[in-house]
Structure 1
Amino acid sequence: MKKIAIILSGCGVFDGAEIHESVLTMLHLEQLGASYQCFAPNIQQHHVINHLTGEELQQQRNVLEESARIARGNIKELSQLNSNDFDALVLPGGFGVAKNLSNFAFEGAKSQILDQLKHVCQAFAQQQKPIAYLCIAPALIGHIHPHGTLASIGNDEQTAAVINQLGAQHVECDVENIVLDSIHKVISTPAYMLAESISEASVGIHKALKALVEMA
């Protein structure tokens, strides 16, 4: 059975991991006959958003504790993730990727990513183990993989241009498809960058994870 690590970035599309994408990731991996373990960094969120009103709340939340909501408590600190123990890696999207795992949401082409995350992802890459990036997570690819690695967040020209500036090579992709860099073993799919329903997001995510498991 293939063992897959999942890195979450909180709980909720506007300040953490996209919940539908995260749950679909777990569901499809299980249906594909793989096992998974969730991880998240033990850090404070950048901020907390009221998902009903869109307003920022004056409170603090912890990324690991919030991610545990999605993982039903079965989650470990990112610092415990050892690439030797897994066959592949998945990063669901959500603004937590661009606010907590990196500062892409604020700095764009000048963004940096969490050192711990970079170390873990590069360890998988160096061992030639595949990584799937969903939704906005492909914005991290230029920080982790060699210059020119293929990536897609769909078809948003402005975001695509920034991804290119960061060193990846953006490829347009519709919601139900994937972009596969077979040389660097990197898979991306737009998911909720384009999806207008959970079933639309599900199609591309399933294809990405099927490719991930087959490549692992």
Structure 2
Amino acid sequence: MKTKKFAVVLAGSGVFDGAEIHESTLTMLSIAKAGGTYQCFAPDKEQAQVVNHLTGEEMPEKRNVLVEAARIARGDIKPLTEFSPDDFDAIVFPGGFGVAKNLCTFAFDGPECSVDPEVEKVIKASVDEGLAIGAICISPVLMARVLPEVDVTIGEDQETAEAISKMGGAHHITDHGEIIIDEKYKLVTTPCYMLDATITQIAEGTDNIVKELIYMIENS
């Protein structure tokens, strides 16, 4: 059976200003356990903020999203501009505040947010080529902003769910490990750390999303 190839899009390194590290690492582990391979990508751009993860305070310095994401990828990462949907069967977006700060402006602008042009291009190209798409934690807001009338979940946070509705998406309440499937976009979403979760519950979410993405690939 052909090995399934996944692209994993990271938004930096660290929950408060980049990619959520547990979600990112466990996504890669879930892919590997399922017999797939992955290649990490990130935008080559300046982060919106740099946050001290010990104190939660913003730091007066600048960092690059790609350079920081390379920490999680152990250096094996490419600029998002090099992504081609022809090279992959699926693409996954782990969460973290970097999604809402670096991949789009949701953290600052809510439902009026804009999506990074390269990120939007990648999402639309993935849909056009029929890739299976996974969005974890806060990443479904990207899909709601880019894809009309999309079905997603971020768990049960009312404010974020209302913002998704304002952007034209349909939000579904879910608990730990549960997934929502949008068949028309071949999109699978799960809440992970949008809920008060343990690391084992995060692993359950990433396992379930990867299993469903592989099912979509094999049955498309």
Name the TM-score, length of structure 1 as normaliser: 0.98
| Secondary structure at the counterpart of residue 15 of structure 1 | coil
Amino acid at match of 1:91: F
Contact 2:176/2:197 (CA < 8 Å) preserved in 1?
no
2:192 corresponding residue in structure 1: 191
Tell me the residue number matched to 2:47. 45
Give 1:157's aligned residue.
158
User: 1:17 aligned to 2:19?
Assistant: yes
d(CA) in 2 for partners of 1:56, 1:123: 34
2:207 maps to which residue?
Answer: 206
- Equivalence map 1:89-100=2 (5 Å): 89-100=91-102
**Does the 8 A contact of 2:177 with 2:204 survive in 1?**
yes
Paired residues for 1:173-192 under 5 Å: 173-192=174-193
Identity among equivalent pairs (%): 46
Structure 2 distance, partners of 1:138, 1:72, is 26
> Structure 1: 5+ residue runs without aligned partners?
none
Identify the residue that residue 122 of structure 2 maps to in structure 1.
120
Shift of 1:214: 1.7
Partner of 1:44, secondary structure, is: coil
- Paired with 1:130 and 1:29, the residues of 2 have a C-alpha distance of 13
Q: Deviations over 1:39-98 (max 9, x none)?
A: 000000001000000011111000000000000000000000011111110000000000
Q: How far does residue 144 in structure 1 lie from its aligned partner after superposition?
A: 2.3
| Whole-Å separation in 2 of the counterparts to 1:167 and 1:130 | 21
- Per-residue CA shift, 1:93-143, capped at 9, x if unaligned? 000000000000010110000000100111010112111000000011122
Aligned-residue offset at 1:155: 0.5
Which amino acid in 1 is paired with 2:83?
Answer: L
- 2:145 corresponding residue in structure 1: 143
- Matched with 1:172 is 173
Looking at structure 2, the residues matched to 96 and 124 of structure 1 have their Cα atoms a distance apart, in angstroms, of: 21
1:205: Cα distance to partner? 1.4
* C-alpha distance in structure 2 between counterparts of 1:72 and 1:105, whole Å: 27
Work out the CA distance in 1 between the residues paired with 2:29 and 2:196.
Answer: 18
TM-score, normalization by structure 2: 0.96
CA RMSD across the alignment: 0.8
Q: Which runs of 5+ in 2 are unaligned?
A: none
Q: Distance in 2 between matches of 1:18 and 1:89?
A: 17
Aligned to 1:83: 85
Counterpart CA distance in 2 for 1:38 and 1:92 is 11
- Matched residue count: 215
Partner of 1:29: 31
What secondary structure is seen at the aligned counterpart in 2 of 1:153? strand
**2:195 aligned partner, one-letter code:** L
Are 1:56 and 2:58 matched, yes or no?
Answer: yes
